[in-house]
Amino acid sequence: MTNRGTGMTSTANPADERTARIPEFPMARAAKCPFDPPPALRDEQREGPLRKVRLWDGSTPWLVTRYSEQRALLGDARVSSEVTRPGFPNQAPVKSGSTGLSFITMDDPEHSRQRRMVTAPFAIKRVDALRPAVQKIVDDLIDTMLAGPNPVDLVEAFALPVPSLVICELLGVPYADHDFFQSNSRVLITRDVDPEERWGAMKRLTDYLDELLGEKIAHPADDLLSGLVPRIETGELTRNGAAQMGVLLLLAGHETTANMIALGTLALLEHPDQLALLRETDDPKLVASAVEELLRYLNITHGGRRRLALEDIEISGETIRAGEGIIVPNEIGNRDPEVFADPDRLDLRRDARRHVAFGFGVHQCLGQPLARMELQVVYSTLYRRIPTLRLATGLEKIPFKHDGSVYGVYELPVAW
Amino acid sequence: MRVELDEPKCVASGQCVMASPEVFDQRDEDGVAVLLEETPGAELLDGVREAVAICPAAAIRLVEG
Ligand code: HEM
Ligand code: SF4
């Protein structure tokens, strides 16, 4: 037995000591470092790859702090994503009787059976074919912005419309309804929301998608939702299952990318030398590398992937018992100094492709080719077309989404 | 060196196509990876190794022979 030399007292039971020191999760970021993970999370990473944390309900799941253990566990078939299992380390209380959100909260084989119904439109070549259409959306929004009031809120004028327009087009959802689905999405991704309210937002969105599916059944079009109609007819997917899948894609398709655009712009404005690299290049390789580095650096899907162990799992000298919760925060895995040298430096030229910002394992982001393409178009266009873009307020006045399961800024006042 | 693809494991993430477009492509019907080159030349191996490293589903292997 090792003894680190402090407590030689006979009562010191290491298990008790450990329980007493279990920190609360999620942890707070330092006010002065809005782009960095919470300092307490780094402390845990320094202590070891597998730690324990305490959640809102008093439960004490495992916290996985290092990159290699994060990938190993997310890639392990013995972990579950089913949020309704007893002991699942949920972000917030779940209303009893509510289900998850389509295949993101299912396990294989059902997860992969459903996921494969919608993978085709997200294949690299299919997504690349959309690039000119996305470029036009981005150019048109910039034209409108330049013709409008200065300063303006970049979130409202640009960051949110880009991915919303793109995902609406791909799914076949009318963009005119964006106020409705954006406001309900926001409820779903805010942490401290009453379970009833969250359930209501989920119900409104599912009903809305169900109605849209009805229209697609009557008048099929060339879009992803219409592509689900034959699956409903053959019984491969229930109509409700299709509606939930629609909600997942709509939600995941705009909230994430929007935050990457706004928070990414803020990070670049705070790192003018890096912004200059993007403004002055027309090398698609550098743009692509910048997107990977910003994904690694920003970690907008913070607060951890959540899993439950289905069997005992031995890892790095610890045993995760069947039934124990597992939390895997990419905001710390992507800052692991063993994998990324000088991890807190934003360096658009580094090779950051191995980041875990899209997760890892069978649930790794379905929309990643689309997100990458949208971000490549945005980052290679916005700062070149508006070279004088600047923050119209102080960094300390920017409202950050500390309370969201997707990190970012609520507002980004910019001028030029 | 030979590339092995465990198709049922593939989750159609497209990472391999991004890392090594000369060696990997995706099926039209569901985005599942397909091999364009089973025994890629030495100049392509760096890309394949990157694909092995970033494949989220551990579906790609590079083996001797
Ligand atoms: C930069 C933007 C994005 C980021 C950072 C991001 C991040 C993530 C992460 C971390 C996961 C893994 C969840 C888990 O393991 O539990 C995920 C899954 C997913 N994402 Fe994204 N995402 C982005 C954009 C998109 C877009 C544009 C779509 C388009 C529809 C999308 C659709 C999905 C879906 C459907 C899943 C579930 C996959 C599954 O469970 O098999 N995401 N995303
Ligand atoms: S990287 Fe792996 S999971 Fe993704 S498409 Fe290629 S083989 Fe499939």
**ipTM for the complex?**
0.94
Instruction: Scan for tokens 């106020």, then name that residue.
Output: A179
pLDDT of residue A8: 41
The predicted model scores a pTM of: 0.94
pLDDT of residue A193: 82
Q: How far apart are CA A216 and CA A211, in angstroms?
A: 9
Q: Which residues of A63-87 are buried (b: 16+ CB within 10 A; e: fewer)?
A: bbbbbebbbbbbbbeebbbbbeeee
Would residue A129 count as lying in a domain? Answer: yes
From A256, A306, A375, the mutation candidate for ligand 1 (largest count of ligand atoms within 8 A of CB) is A256
Indicate whether A23 belongs to any domain: no
Q: Which of A79, A119, A305 to mutate to test the interface with B (most CBs of B within 10 A)?
A: A119
A362 in contact with chain B, both atoms CB, cutoff 8 A: yes
**For the CA of A116, the nearest ligand:** 1
CB pairs under 8 A between A and B: 65
pLDDT of residue A222: 95
Provide the pLDDT confidence category of residue A195 given band limits of 50, 70 and 90: confident
pLDDT band at A16 (very low <50, low <70, confident <90, very high): low
**Residue with CA closest to ligand 2 atom 2:** B55
Residue B13 to residue A115, Cβ atoms within 8 A: no
* Beta strands at A305-309 and A325-328: parallel, antiparallel or unpaired: antiparallel
H helices then E strands: how many in chain B?
A: 2, 4
Residue nearest to atom 4 of ligand 2 (CA): B13
Cα separation of A344 and A337, whole Å?
9
Assign A364 a pLDDT band (cuts: 50, 70, 90): very high
Q: Which atom of ligand 2 is nearest to the CA of B54?
A: 1
The neighbour count for residue A1, using CB atoms within 10 Å, is 3
Predicted confidence at residue A3, as pLDDT, reads: 39
Helix A195-218 × helix A224-234 angle, to 10°: 80
Domain map (residue ranges) of chain B: 2-63
Give the length of chain B: 65
Distance of CA A381 to the CA centre of its chain: 23
pLDDT band at A94 (very low <50, low <70, confident <90, very high): confident
A327-350 burial string, b = 16+ CB within 10 Å, else e?
bbbbbbbbbbeebbeebeebbbeb
pLDDT classification of A13: cutoffs 50, 70, 90: low
Instruction: With CA atoms as reference, report the closest residue to A62 among A23, A94, A15, A4.
Output: A23
Question: Measured at the alpha carbon of residue A331, what is the angle toward residues A112 and A40, in degrees to the nearest 5?
Answer: 135
Alpha-carbon distance of A375 to A272, in angstroms, equals 19
Instruction: Tell me which chain B residue has its CA closest to the CA of residue A123.
Output: B31
CATH code of the domain containing A391: 1.10.630.10
Cβ–Cβ of A124/B17 closer than 8 Å? yes
pLDDT tens per residue, range A212-263: 999 999 999 999 999 999 999 999 999 999 999 999 999 999 989 999 999 9
How far CA A265 is from CA of A33, A274, A330, A357, A380, in Å, comes to: 16, 11, 20, 18, 12
> B63 by DSSP, 3-state: which?
strand
Report CB contact under 8 Å: B19, A122.
no
Domain count, chain A: 1
CA angle A215, A219, A222 (to 5 degrees): 105
| Residue range B38-56, pLDDT digits in tens | 999 999 999 999 999 999 9
Domain region containing A275: 44-415
* pLDDT at residue A135, as a whole number: 98
Six-digit token pair at A310?
């289905």
- pLDDT above 60: residue A6: no
CATH architecture of B2-63: 2-Layer Sandwich (3.30)
The minimum CA-CA distance between B7 and chain A, rounded to whole Å, is 12
Q: Parallel, antiparallel, or unpaired for β A79-80 and A305-309? A: antiparallel
- DSSP code at position A157: I
Alpha-carbon distance B40 to nearest alpha carbon in chain A (angstroms): 21
pLDDT at A20 over 80: no
* Chain B residues in contact with A353 (beta carbon < 8 A): 18-19, 50, 54
Using 50, 70 and 90 to split pLDDT, how confident is the model at A187? confident
Query: Coil, helix or strand for A248?
Result: helix
Q: Residues in chain B with pLDDT < 70?
A: none
